[in-house]
């Protein structure tokens, strides 16, 4: 789960929405047909929140709204003090100069490092690896 929270006084929300709609994320490697088209970045954010103050309170409210466990959340932010959300189990990624594809992927890699894939065997002996992000 990815979230895009930001303080109200620092963001022009209509411009942020426009930017996320115009920013295109390339398709997954090997995608074919309709799946091979880039998608607007806006579709990758399940919740867009503007909330001043402690991010602990913010993430507790996001958790209550969505039911998503903290350990399934990745938070990209330009303020190191907001690392406090890690006390809830959220993966925090400091982005002092903004998010780009390399930084975004770095955050997902950090989440994966903290949450190794679960191996599940079915009754037929087949093995499935699960790692949601």
Which CATH number covers residue 107? 3.40.50
Res. 73: pLDDT tops 50: yes
Res. 1: pLDDT tops 60: no
CB under 8 Å to 42, separation ≥6 — which residues? 17, 20, 21, 23
**E strands of the chain, at which residues?**
3-6, 24-25, 39-40, 47-50, 74-77, 91-94, 118-121, 127-130
Q: What is the pLDDT of residue 10?
A: 54
Res. 8: pLDDT tops 50: no
Range of the domain at 25: 3-130
Record the tokens describing residue 75, joined without a space: 């938070």
Q: What is the pLDDT of residue 106?
A: 92
Chain segment 28-66, per-residue pLDDT in tens? 777 787 777 888 877 777 666 666 678 998 899 888 888
Percent of the chain at pLDDT > 90 equals 28
Domain count, the chain: 1
Beta strand pairing call for 91-94 and 74-77: parallel
pTM for this entry: 0.59
């Amino acid at each position: 789960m990815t979230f895009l929270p930001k303080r109200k006084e620092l963001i022009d929300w209509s411009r942020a929405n426009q930017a996320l709609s115009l920013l295109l994320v390339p398709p997954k490697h090997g995608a074919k047909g309709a799946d091979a088209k880039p998608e607007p970045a806006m579709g990758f954010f399940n919740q867009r929140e503007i909330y001043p103050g402690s991010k602990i309170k913010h993430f507790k409210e996001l958790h209550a709204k969505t039911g998503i466990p903290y350990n399934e959340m990745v938070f990209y932010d330009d303020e190191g003090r907001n690392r406090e959300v890690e006390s809830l189990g959220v993966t925090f990624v400091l982005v002092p100069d903004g998010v780009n594809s390399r930084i975004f992927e770095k955050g997902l890699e950090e989440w994966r490092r903290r949450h190794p894939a679960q191996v599940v065997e079915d009754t037929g002996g087949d093995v499935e690896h699960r790692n949601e992000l």
